[in-house]
Structure 1
Amino acid sequence: MVQSKAPTVEAYLAELEPERRGLVAALIKAIEARIDPGYELTMAWGMPTWVVPLDRYPTGYLGNPAQGVPYLSVASQKQYLAYYHPGFDADPALAEWFRGAWAQTGLPLSLGRSCLRLRPTAPIPYALLGELAGRVGLEEHLDRYEQARAGR
């Protein structure tokens, strides 16, 4: 899928083919069940993205007061579903935990620096991905973001 211009998550889902819509909707539901409720689900960069709300962090992402600091995104790409999480790259302990938990699924792992690629034709471990979303609370994420910005 080319980057979506959908203004809402509902509109994004409506753009998807029915099979993909069901997979992405199930992934969003699994994340919503476990993620810190302080995050806000919105559209950013053409995909559903959980961000730190601007009322909590008005400086915004990279100093842009119109964009919340991103935490997690999901997207339907041409060949796979994408699960973007900064912890894969920024948090070695979290990445190690995830690799071990993923190995228990018996599924092949396709992981980039911050992107887990999920084959839509393979089983998707929704509970594990929901658990991963819930492992970094909003305050911890903001602390890491501010430390990274200070270390530029």
Structure 2
Amino acid sequence: MQYKATTPDEYIKQIPKERQATIQKLRDVIQHNLPKGFSEKISYGMIAYVVPHSIYPDGYHCNPKLPLPFISIASQKNYIAIYHSGLYAQKDLFNWFVDEYPKHVKTKLDIGKSCIRFKKPDQIPFGLIGELSAKMTPKEWVDIYKKVLNKK
């Protein structure tokens, strides 16, 4: 689902009441753990953490006017989603997350290439999401992104 918010605070006010505290907690965990240099904004209708043009002027290859996306959080129709581009681009990070997940949560991991889905907010491993958020600096993400982009 896409909301018409222009700021993360507006986004949280627009989502269903029963999800507001969870999305705010995810936001807080990511902000607390994310290395310096990423910026928070609304992108593609979600709360996003991006590499700003001041660090990576080329921007996102799909739309260079947009900054390079890294992590996004969203309240979708049937679940809460965390989109982490690093999981898609770096197999070692993906494998680390898949291996760590069962140590934090008893339920089966619902994950796509970069999307982690949580149908029950009380089963979100906030500590693990914090660790994941801390694992890559903007420079590291840009370097990985450029390598992956050049392979195509």
Give the residue type in structure 2 aligned to 1:111. I
Partner of 2:74: 75
Structure 1 residue 62: Cα displacement: 1.1
Instruction: Give CA-to-partner distance per residue, 1:37-80, whole Å, 9 cap, x none.
Output: 21001000000010001111122111744210000100001111
Q: Is the 8 A contact 1:89 1:114 kept in 2?
A: yes
Q: 1:53-132, aligned counterparts within 5 Å?
A: 53-62=52-61, 64-105=63-104, 106-132=106-132
Task: Read off the aligned partner of 1:134 and give its amino acid letter.
Answer: A
Equivalent pairs, count? 151
State the distance in 2 between where 1:76 and 1:100 align. 25
Letter in 2 for 1:25: Q
Q: Is the 8 A contact 2:2 2:46 kept in 1?
A: yes
Aligned-pair identity (%): 33
Query: What's the TM-score once normalised by structure 1's chain length?
Result: 0.93
Normalising by the residue count of structure 2, what TM-score does the alignment of the two structures yield? 0.93
Alignment RMSD (CA, Å): 1.4
Separation in structure 2 between the aligned mates of residue 29 and residue 136 of structure 1, nearest angstrom: 17
Match of 1:15 in 2: 14
- Distance in 1 (alpha carbons) for counterparts of 2:75 and 2:44: 13
The structure carrying a bigger helix percent of its residues is 2
1:33 shift after superposition: 0.9
Gapped runs of 5+ residues in structure 1?
none
Higher mean C-alpha displacement, 39-48 vs 2-11 = 2-11
Q: CA deviation at 1:8?
A: 0.8
Q: Which moved more, 1:80-89 or 1:27-36?
A: 80-89
CA–CA distance in structure 2, aligned partners of residues 136 and 19 of structure 1: 31
